[in-house]
């Protein structure tokens, strides 16, 4: 792809992600084009439908979550406190630029699958595996309640207040951390 096409595609996805992340915004193709600084025709060349664009945003978000989950897992493998890595992971996604509906939808895509087959997307699979390993390390260290599973972690991600309500979000994270922690 040419550099300008790559730049335009990135700007379009970033604009859509911002609009999806803002609970008061309406996601229109014209609005996305304006925010991205591209012509509507350019937007449609990259994404013929709004569904295509939303899927691209969710794919990018799932990849970001996978990268964060793998980084946390890698720090645990290097000797970091697994509990702290779980908490830091959730704080990072709760405070990130896409912390809202986009993350909630991406979390659903990660593996709270109705048919129990788990995620099909390679990035989602990466995220699930990394989170499972970090959660297992936390449980093995006696830091997380033994009944906490991946579905609980996804529920935490899906229910977090959006970044536009920082006080509520911070309180939510405190309560969740206390609820997941084993007797400390």
Residue 80 predicted with pLDDT over 90 = yes
pLDDT of residue 70: 97
Residue 140's pLDDT band (cuts 50, 70, 90): very high
Contacts of 21 (CB under 8 A, 6+ apart): 97, 98, 99, 100, 101, 102, 162, 163
What pLDDT shows up at residue 37?
95
pTM of the model: 0.77
pLDDT tens figures, 26-67: 778 999 999 999 999 999 999 998 888 888 888 888 888 899
């Amino acid at each position: 792809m040419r550099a300008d096409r790559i730049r335009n595609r990135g700007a379009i996805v970033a604009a859509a992600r911002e609009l999806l992340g803002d609970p008061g915004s309406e996601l229109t193709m014209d609005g996305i084009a304006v925010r991205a600084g591209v012509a509507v025709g350019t937007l449609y060349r990259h994404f013929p439908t709004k569904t295509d664009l939303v899927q691209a945003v969710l794919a990018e978000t799932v990849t970001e979550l996978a990268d964060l989950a793998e980084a946390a897992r890698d720090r645990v493998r290097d000797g970091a406190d697994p509990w702290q890595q779980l908490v830091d992971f959730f704080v990072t996604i709760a405070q990130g630029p896409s912390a809202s509906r986009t993350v909630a939808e991406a979390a659903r895509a990660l593996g709270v699958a109705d048919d129990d087959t788990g995620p099909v997307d390679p990035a989602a699979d990466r995220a699930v595996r990394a989170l499972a390993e970090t959660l297992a390390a936390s449980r093995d260290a006696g830091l997380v309640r033994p009944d906490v599973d991946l579905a609980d972690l996804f529920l935490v991600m899906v229910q977090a207040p959006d970044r536009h309500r920082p006080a509520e979000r911070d309180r939510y994270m405190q309560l969740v951390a206390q609820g997941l922690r084993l007797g400390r």
